[in-house]
């Protein structure tokens, strides 16, 4: 069986870490990334870590002809892992059509190629955002999808449902939907990591950018929630653990171990941690004090969510190897490393234009 995997969004945060994990586990990878929200510097990092040249197609998946040409040029692909998508919650609220167009059109084109070229296995990047504000935590894969909190969240819900329908109609296809919780941290080498566009919205890059002085102070969005210290609860999952879940998901599909041709897995640490606990973990691990203040709640924030990850552990044999201290120390190492990178390698193209 071919071990050739096509990864869309290979220059992205989770995509680049997954390329490394796939290569380390014997897969041959092909990346597709138009670098609309990422940089080629990330693939160079992957090459340094793995010692392998990465074949990348700088193609916009919304262009069907160019997407199809990649599949035509690369016969016998064993599986597709589809990361490429926009993911900024706030931007999606302001520009929903941009999100509907980019995230859905690209997914449809990828599925059209999967069907035409008879690709047997498909792994999709989904998110715990599909649970909305859950009635009970931790959430299991059976927890119902609730009203999406943003157009971005809606694209993940629609994506899941489109793949479910597609798999129902294509019995030869095997698909897995991986619902990520809060990915954070960086590869231990600090050669790849998260590169936010403009001012970061996610907690971990806000923490590291505050620590390094790019951001003057961190605002904790609310300390009056009904949680143990009043701040929101999240499930922080190290990006390398998350990356490895993709390799295991693909192994599972290729080995034909699945019961159903479209299965769902939560990929989270299984532990809830508050925003204030994350801040304190960063300070304790790095010895760097953070300048932070308590501010108002952020509209649209879920109060508390974390994963029941029993299914991924039992069925995929996956288990997180990194804790919050590894997350914070690796994210900090990465933040310090990118200070010294040449500008063209670490600034997303959007800023360069």
**Per-residue tokens: 284:** 């304790």
Tell me how far, at minimum, the Cβ of 173 lies from ligand UD1, in Å.
25
> Which are the contacts of 214, defined by CB distance < 8 A and separation ≥ 6?
none
Distance separating alpha carbons of residues 266 and 188, to the nearest angstrom: 24
For 134, phi then psi, to 5°, come to -70, 155
Distance separating alpha carbons of residues 227 and 205, to the nearest angstrom: 23
Q: Which is nearer to ligand UD1, 110 or 302 (CB)?
A: 302
Interface stretch with ligand UD1, choices 99-107, 212-220, 249-257, 334-342 (CB under 6 A): 212-220
Distance separating alpha carbons of residues 353 and 350, to the nearest angstrom: 6
Out of 102, 157, 174, 182, name the contact with ligand UD1 by CB under 6 A. 182
Nearest to 302 by CA among 127, 133, 92: 133
Tell me how far, at minimum, the Cβ of 181 lies from ligand UD1, in Å.
8
Nearest to 307 by CA among 202, 135, 182: 182
Asked if residue 7 binds ligand UD1 (CB under 6 A), the reply is: no
**Interface with ligand UD1 in residues 90-129 (CB under 6 A):** 127-129
Interface stretch with ligand UD1, choices 147-155, 157-165, 326-334, 336-344 (CB under 6 A): 147-155
Q: Which is nearer to ligand UD1, 128 or 243 (CB)?
A: 128
Asked if residue 153 binds ligand UD1 (CB under 6 A), the reply is: yes
The string of DSSP codes covering 202-231 is SHHHHHHHHHHTSSS-EEEE-S-SSSSSSS
Nearest to 47 by CA among 29, 33, 32: 29
Asked if residue 221 binds ligand UD1 (CB under 6 A), the reply is: yes
Tell me how far, at minimum, the Cβ of 298 lies from ligand UD1, in Å.
5
Active site residues: 152
Asked if residue 30 binds ligand UD1 (CB under 6 A), the reply is: no
Q: Which is nearer to ligand UD1, 300 or 317 (CB)?
A: 300
Query: What binding mask, one character per residue, do residues 183-202 give for ligand UD1 by CB under 6 A, x or -?
Result: ------------------xx
Q: Which residues share a beta bridge with 55?
A: 30
Asked if residue 301 binds ligand UD1 (CB under 6 A), the reply is: yes
**Interface with ligand UD1 in residues 56-75 (CB under 6 A):** none
Asked if residue 275 binds ligand UD1 (CB under 6 A), the reply is: yes
Total Cβ atoms within 10 A of residue 275: 25
Tell me how far, at minimum, the Cβ of 70 lies from ligand UD1, in Å.
26
CB 292 within 8 A of CB 217: yes
- For 187-223, b/e burial (b = at least 16 CB within 10 A) is beebbbbbbbbeebebbbbbbbbbbeeebeebebbbb
Asked if residue 308 binds ligand UD1 (CB under 6 A), the reply is: no
CB 248 within 8 A of CB 317: yes
Asked if residue 149 binds ligand UD1 (CB under 6 A), the reply is: yes
CB 288 within 8 A of CB 119: no
Out of 220, 240, 245, 273, name the contact with ligand UD1 by CB under 6 A. 220
Asked if residue 150 binds ligand UD1 (CB under 6 A), the reply is: yes
Asked if residue 78 binds ligand UD1 (CB under 6 A), the reply is: no
Tell me how far, at minimum, the Cβ of 247 lies from ligand UD1, in Å.
20
Tell me how far, at minimum, the Cβ of 278 lies from ligand UD1, in Å.
7
* Binding positions for ligand UD1, rule: CB under 6 A: 87, 89, 127-129, 149-150, 153, 182, 201-203, 206, 218-221, 232, 234, 275, 298, 301-302
């Amino acid at each position: 069986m071919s071990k050739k995997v096509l990864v869309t969004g290979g220059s992205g945060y989770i995509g680049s870490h997954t390329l490394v994990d796939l290569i380390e586990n014997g897969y041959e990878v092909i990346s597709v990334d138009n670098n609309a929200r990422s940089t080629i510097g990330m693939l160079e990092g992957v090459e340094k870590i793995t010692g392998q040249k990465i074949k990348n197609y700088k193609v916009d998946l919304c262009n069907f002809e160019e997407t199809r040409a990649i599949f035509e040029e690369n016969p016998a692909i064993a599986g597709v892992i589809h990361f490429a998508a926009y993911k900024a919650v706030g931007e999606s609220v302001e520009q929903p059509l941009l999100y509907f167009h980019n995230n859905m059109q690209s997914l449809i084109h990828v599925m059209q190629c999967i069907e035409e070229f008879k690709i047997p296995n498909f792994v999709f990047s989904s998110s715990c955002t599909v649970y909305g504000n859950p009635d009970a935590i931790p959430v299991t894969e059976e927890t119902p999808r609730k009203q999406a909190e943003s157009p971005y969240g809606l694209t993940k819900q629609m994506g899941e449902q489109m793949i479910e329908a597609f798999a129902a109609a294509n019995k030869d296809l095997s698909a897995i939907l991986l619902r990520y919780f809060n990915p954070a941290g960086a590869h231990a080498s600090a050669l790849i990591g998260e590169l936010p566009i403009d001012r970061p919205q996610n907690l971990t890059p806000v923490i590291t950018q505050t620590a390094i002085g790019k951001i003057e102070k961190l605002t904790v969005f609310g300390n009056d929630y009904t949680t143990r210290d009043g701040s929101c609860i999240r499930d922080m999952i190290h990006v390398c653990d998350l990356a490895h879940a993709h390799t295991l998901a693909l192994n599972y599909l290729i080995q034909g171990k699945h019961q159903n041709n479209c299965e769902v897995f939560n990929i989270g640490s299984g532990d809830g941690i508050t925003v204030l606990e994350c801040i304190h973990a960063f300070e304790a691990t790095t010895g760097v004090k953070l300048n932070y203040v308590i501010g108002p709640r952020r509209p649209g924030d879920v109060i508390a969510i974390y994963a029941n990850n029993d299914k991924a552990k039992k069925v995929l044999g996956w288990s997180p190897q990194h804790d919050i201290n590894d997350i914070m120390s690796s994210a900090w190492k990465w933040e310090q490393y990118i200070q010294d990178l040449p500008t063209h390698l670490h600034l997303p193209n959007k800023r360069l234009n």
